[in-house]
């Protein structure tokens, strides 16, 4: 299995002096789901934001180390952030749909990039909705406002919106935290399909979700990577006592 992203000795300190990530070394495998999990404040979202440079530079004091994707360091100031974000898509905890139609939400990014051909846009709409397991529910109402969708549907629309741009990596930060169990199951099922084509990094909303979805899992505690292993190993026979305590529910 190939490495898609290589995180080397990465540390991040915010302007208020908080060191939120310390000496992180982590390989993100291609075509797999890597779960980043652990208690609140551990640095999970901070790390995801670094992967597509969403951290506000005014809030970050220093970073050190490297985050390599291919030969290039994502953190390099010469990195073109727009094309990076096209390659590394992000889906947040709360769905943020644009005030357009369902279709318009999906074509917006492509149109901004200059795609005008109706056939290409239609193709992207259908493909991305199918990949996000939403097509059957919305195919007859693509021109309706996206805001009229249920929360679970909006979240899958946000996933579809990032897929429409054909990224290589998809970052998901607690994408199902506001969803009912049925919508959650749909999102999890589509992630299992998507990993065949994409590299997926997921911050799950629970340990149970982590265990269900992880091909690889990284346990973060207070800015440190405590343990990294294949999911089936980490959740059954963790090697660090702190991981064990957390996955067995002794602290949370
Ligand atoms: N913009 C910021 N400026 C200063 N400190 C920050 C900023 N963002 C996060 N932090 C701090 O960095 C630490 C890690 O936060 P982060 O949001 O990455 O954790 P998390 O693991 O995603 O937590 P949660 O499970 O609650 O989402 C926390 O101590 C947090 O207060
Ligand atoms: Mg977070």
Query: Is 59's C-beta closer than 6 angstroms to any atom of ligand 1?
Result: yes
Name the closest ligand to CA 205: 1
Name the closest ligand to CA 221: 1
Enumerate residues 6+ apart whose C-beta is below 8 A from 104: 98, 146
Q: What is the pLDDT of residues 156-208, one digit of tens each?
A: 999 999 999 999 999 999 999 888 899 899 899 999 999 999 999 999 999 99
Whether residue 107 lies inside any domain: the answer is: no
Count of domains forming the chain? 1
Query: Is 43's C-beta closer than 6 angstroms to any atom of ligand 1?
Result: yes
Q: Measuring CA to CA, how many Å separate 241 from each of 20, 179, 218, 229, 230?
A: 22, 32, 14, 14, 17
Whether residue 142 lies inside any domain: the answer is: no
Name the closest ligand to CA 38: 1
State residue 214 phi and psi, 5-degree precision: -75, 125
Query: Is 42's C-beta closer than 6 angstroms to any atom of ligand 1?
Result: yes
Whether residue 156 lies inside any domain: the answer is: no
**What pLDDT is stored for residue 58 in this prediction?**
86
44 falls in which pLDDT band (50, 70, 90)? very high
Enumerate residues 6+ apart whose C-beta is below 8 A from 28: 3, 4, 5, 6, 7, 34, 169, 199, 201
Whether residue 49 lies inside any domain: the answer is: yes
CATH number of the structural domain spanning residue 9: 3.40.50.300
Whether residue 179 lies inside any domain: the answer is: yes
Whether residue 128 lies inside any domain: the answer is: no
Query: Is 49's C-beta closer than 6 angstroms to any atom of ligand 1?
Result: no
Q: Does residue 252 carry a pLDDT above 80?
A: no
93 falls in which pLDDT band (50, 70, 90)? confident
Q: What is the pLDDT of residues 105-157, one digit of tens each?
A: 999 999 998 999 999 999 999 999 999 989 999 999 999 999 999 998 999 99
Whether residue 152 lies inside any domain: the answer is: no
Portion of the chain with pLDDT greater than 90, in percent: 88
Q: How far apart are CA 128 and CA 141, in angstroms?
A: 15
What global pTM score does this model have? 0.95
**What pLDDT is stored for residue 166 in this prediction?**
94
Whether residue 81 lies inside any domain: the answer is: yes
Ligand 1 center to residue 21 CA distance, Å? 10
**What pLDDT is stored for residue 150 in this prediction?**
93
Could you tell which of 15, 45, 201 is best to mutate to test the pocket of ligand 1, judged by most ligand atoms within 8 Å of the CB?
45
| Atom 16 of ligand 1, nearest CA residue | 43
Portion of the chain with pLDDT greater than 70, in percent: 100
**What pLDDT is stored for residue 140 in this prediction?**
98
Ligand 2 center to residue 138 CA distance, Å? 30
User: Among all chains, which residue has been given the structure tokens 């990094």?
Assistant: 201
**What pLDDT is stored for residue 179 in this prediction?**
85
- Segment 57-77 shows an average pLDDT of 93
Query: Is 14's C-beta closer than 6 angstroms to any atom of ligand 1?
Result: yes
Mean pLDDT, all residues of the chain = 95
250 falls in which pLDDT band (50, 70, 90)? confident
Q: Does residue 235 carry a pLDDT above 90?
A: yes
Q: Does residue 33 carry a pLDDT above 80?
A: yes
> What is the extent of the structural domain holding 226?
3-97+169-247
């Amino acid at each position: 299995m190939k490495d898609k992203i290589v995180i080397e000795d990465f540390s991040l300190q915010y302007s208020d002096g908080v060191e939120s990530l310390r000496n992180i070394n982590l390989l993100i495998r291609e075509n797999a789901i890597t779960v980043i999990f652990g208690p609140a404040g551990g640095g999970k979202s901070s790390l995801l934001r670094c992967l597509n440079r969403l951290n506000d530079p005014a809030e970050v004091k220093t970073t050190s180390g490297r985050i390599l994707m291919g030969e290039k360091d994502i953190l390099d100031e010469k990195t073109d952030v727009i094309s990076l974000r096209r390659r590394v898509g992000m889906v947040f905890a709360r769905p943020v749909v644009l005030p357009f139609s369902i279709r318009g939400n999906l074509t917006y990014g492509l149109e901004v990039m200059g795609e005008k051909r109706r056939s290409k846009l239609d193709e992207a709409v259908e493909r991305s909705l199918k990949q996000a397991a939403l097509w059957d529910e919305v195919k007859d109402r693509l021109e309706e406002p996206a805001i009229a969708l249920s929360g679970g549907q909006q979240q899958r629309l946000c996933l579809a919106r990032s897929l429409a741009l054909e990224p290589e990596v998809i970052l998901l930060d607690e994408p199902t935290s506001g969803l009912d169990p049925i919508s959650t199951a749909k999102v999890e099922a589509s992630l299992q399909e998507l990993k065949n084509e994409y590299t997926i990094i997921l911050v799950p909303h629970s340990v149970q979700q982590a265990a269900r979805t992880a091909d690889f899992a990284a346990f973060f505690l207070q800015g440190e990577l405590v343990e990294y292993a294949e999911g089936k190993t980490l959740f059954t026979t963790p090697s660090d006592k702190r991981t064990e305590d957390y996955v067995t529910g002794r602290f949370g």
